[in-house]
Structure 1
Amino acid sequence: MKGRFTLNTVPALVLAYFAYFGVLGIFIPYLGLFLDGRGLSSYDIGVLLAIVTATRIVGPSIWAALADRQGKPTQVMQWGAVLATIGWFSSFFDQGFLLLVVGLSLFSFFWTAILPQLEVTTFHFLNDNTERYSRIRSSGSLGYIVLVMVGGLLLQQFGTESLPYGAAILMGLLILSLFLLPAAEVRAEPVEQVPGYWSLLRKPVFVCFMGAAFILQMSFAPFYAFFTLYARDLGYSGIDTGLLISLAVLAEIVAFFWMGWLLKNRSYRLVLSCCYALTMVRWLMLAYLAHSPLWLMISMLMHAASFAIAHSCAMQFIQHYFPRKQRSKGQAFYAGLIFGGGGAVGAYGAGILWQDGAGASQTFLIAAAMAGFATLLALCLPAQVHRLRSE
């Protein structure tokens, strides 16, 4: 590790996680509302989000390869944060659809450089101490919740044009925290020969797993793209929407806390299929019961299963399926195809189906059907991934 400590390392890491997820606390829930305020139709919003999300297909692998080659993850995420902020500045100018597409695509592409390298850097500084890591990482969840609430307040008090400014402030804070970190040099150690990476991707069980995860991610698109618009049309205020999203994140935090116990000695097939089935129920509740605050809150609490538990189980699957040498590539492939590809296809489809709110219930009904199909695929998985090694 080289470099001079200009700020205690742990507070700098805490600030970085808080700011990074704080930006997402504004960007993810309220971007659809912001674009609607700019006069874009639901179809335009779907197309824009599909293009922006598609940049996440290749972004993680490119930045991971660059960081691995240079061995300097701190520099990669510093440049990623600066260039992402430059892309974000396009949102300050109301110059139509094309500028937003170009600017937000650049933002999304460079944004993918940050979190994976921040995770690598954090473990490097903490000497792989997972207990300290979990405490530092929780500051990200706190940042998300705080900025969801702040975003809802800004929206209610100053309108949608205030949101780019709030996100830009957090991006400045993120850049500051990253440049206060001492430089880290992380070099890969030589490892033994392992099975071919591409041969692992072609195995039927992995194709089934990825197909289920891809379809489930597609089903999330109406929620990510249009939930704030949906809540507004149902009569919920910006503060109400912020509280609802914060409730989902709190459920996610609790689920992550108990994840080790939940996954211990339980099959991936059982846990994933239950999570996917609950996701189907969640989208049905949004389609037909969202007018009721009680049922809407219950559906948000189900985020613990549909995202937190399902995502953690998928991460365990990747870690167990790929040999150690291939895990970073496996994670990048998963992130790019599922969150990039699945999110992009889902956003485009949701934009067509939403019809400026007229097709909201139908869109969530189709999302529920996709989650149901993902459940059937998950039921085809083996109970324990380690059994695949004998194939």
Structure 2
Amino acid sequence: MQPTQSLSLAYLAYFAVLGVFVPYVGIFLDHRGLNSQQIGTLLAIVTAMRIVGPNLWSLLAAKRGDPVGVMRLGAVLAAFGWCSTFVDAGYSMLLLGLALYSLCWTAILPQLESAAFHYLNNDTGRYSKVRSSGSVGYILLVVGSGMALEQLGPGFLPGGALLFLVLMLLALWQLPAFSLQATSTEVAIKFRTLWLHRPFVLFMFAAFLLQLSFAPFYSFFTLYCRDLGYSGTASGLLIALAVAAEVVAFFYAGKILGQRSYTLLLGVCYLLTALRWAVVGWFGHLPYVLAASMLLHAFSFAVAHSCAMQFIQQFFPPAQRGRGQALYAGLIYGGGGALGAYIAGWTWQDGAGSQLSFGWAAGACLLAFLLVLGLPRIIRPIGVADTVS
């Protein structure tokens, strides 16, 4: 297989596993007899692994100089941890197994993003088309798993996810190994140096706020739809519509970015996301309006993510991009997602606080918009001797 084909297959398999796991793991754990406290504790540990795991694996990748090898090791150990779901050996065994799965699963995506830009010669347009296969995998498995749940019950989940874990292993073993070694002009990047770099701070805080704003949607959207009188099928179709818009946007992201300022595009994405949450919170009872708001996911996620990847590629020198991806994944997806879920849990109030929750989500996006206005048009890389002030 060509590297682009292997990358596409790896993205598809990675997000297909998430399409099985994320929407349906709660139902599976309930099926296993866990109470709400046990489920909450287990999912909290899984989320915590997303915060600490990426940076641990990126340090190993930097030390070994073998990003592909680290991805393969992580995938093997993740599959091993996932096998704990096949045997009903009690809560403790399931907790340990899923903790191992989650920790090792975080080895893959940051290094895969770094590898994609390496193989694709930093071409954002080609990257976006390859990355769209992940969105396709997610939407197919969300819909397919819903059908499997109706026909087979929650017991389908272990085997369904393992099938795509194996596919991930096959894809990673098709990728040729490569090494990103530091050049003589690169200097070691220290954590404190990053947080003294104003563009980096502005970018990270804005991205953190964007991910924070997704919490009411990710945590409560299906319940919100139910409370508004939508059927489960309608809720699924609305989510599918959002992911379909994401797929299209990823496919054309190269043309959308073009020579345009990523700062301008990020600002547009944050404003449109603020509009999206306001519409969901105040006009969600109008089916066509709610459906139209789902199309804004193209900007809320796909275009915003492509801009973020471009920032990391420009800001970090080649040997440090895996570390940059890991830092982004841990702080933004792990930290932003966890904090947002905690806040949403307090403000949702069993549906009574739905407008409050989507209101603060919109406010977070407006603040993110103000932050990106301070970003320079051109990002100079950190860690290169002649560009460090």
Q: TM bucket by the smaller chain?
A: 0.7 to 0.9
Conserved? CA contact 1:269–1:381, under 8 Å:
yes
Q: Deviations 1:109-136 (Å, cap 9, x if unpaired)?
A: 1111123334455667778787776655
| C-alpha displacement of 1:196 | 4.8
Cα distance in structure 2, aligned partners of 1:91 and 1:291: 39
The correspondence for 1:304, drawn from 295, 298, 302, is 298
Conserved? CA contact 1:248–1:300, under 8 Å:
yes
Q: Deviations 1:333-357 (Å, cap 9, x if unpaired)?
A: 2222111111111122223333444
User: For 1:369-380, what aligned pairs fall within 5 Å after superposition?
Assistant: 369-380=363-374
Aligned to 2:254: 260
User: For 1:160-239, what aligned pairs fall within 5 Å after superposition?
Assistant: 160-179=154-173, 181=174, 184-186=177-179, 188=181, 190-194=183-187, 196-197=189-190, 198-239=192-233
Aligned to 1:55: 49
Aligned to 1:353: 347
The alignment's C-alpha RMSD in Å is 3.5
The correspondence for 2:142, drawn from 135, 141, 148, is 148
Stretch of structure 1 that moved more, 27-36 or 89-98:
89-98
Q: Deviations 1:104-159 (Å, cap 9, x if unpaired)?
A: 33322111112333445566777878777665544323212211210222244445
Cα distance in structure 1, aligned partners of 2:40 and 2:274: 21
Q: Does 1:278 align with 2:310?
A: no
User: For 1:113-124, what aligned pairs fall within 5 Å after superposition?
Assistant: 113-119=107-113
Alignment length, in residue pairs?
Answer: 383
Residue identity opposite 1:72 in structure 2:
D
Cα distance in structure 2, aligned partners of 1:136 and 1:268: 20
Stretch of structure 1 that moved more, 87-96 or 189-198:
87-96
Q: Does 1:69 align with 2:40?
A: no
Conserved? CA contact 2:278–2:362, under 8 Å:
yes
Structure 2: 5+ residue runs without aligned partners?
Answer: none
Cα distance in structure 2, aligned partners of 1:383 and 1:132: 23
TM-score (norm 2): 0.82
Cα distance in structure 2, aligned partners of 1:315 and 1:10: 18
Residue identity opposite 2:104 in structure 1:
F
Conserved? CA contact 2:6–2:175, under 8 Å:
no
Conserved? CA contact 1:319–1:327, under 8 Å:
yes
User: For 1:120-135, what aligned pairs fall within 5 Å after superposition?
Assistant: none
Stretch of structure 1 that moved more, 146-155 or 346-355:
346-355
Structure 1: 5+ residue runs without aligned partners?
Answer: 1-6
TM-score (norm 1): 0.81
Say if 1:320 and 1:77 are closer, same or farther in 2 by CA, change over 3 A: closer
Say if 1:211 and 1:118 are closer, same or farther in 2 by CA, change over 3 A: closer
The correspondence for 1:319, drawn from 308, 313, 320, is 313
| C-alpha displacement of 1:372 | 2.3
Stretch of structure 1 that moved more, 297-306 or 126-135:
126-135
Q: Deviations 1:358-391 (Å, cap 9, x if unpaired)?
A: 4434322222222222222223333443499696
| C-alpha displacement of 1:273 | 2.1
| C-alpha displacement of 1:11 | 5.6
Say if 1:372 and 1:324 are closer, same or farther in 2 by CA, change over 3 A: same
Cα distance in structure 2, aligned partners of 1:196 and 1:14: 31
Cα distance in structure 1, aligned partners of 2:74 and 2:317: 29
Residue identity opposite 2:168 in structure 1:
L
The correspondence for 2:332, drawn from 307, 331, 338, is 338
Aligned to 1:87: 81
Cα distance in structure 2, aligned partners of 1:323 and 1:124: 12
Conserved? CA contact 1:46–1:350, under 8 Å:
no
| C-alpha displacement of 1:223 | 1.8
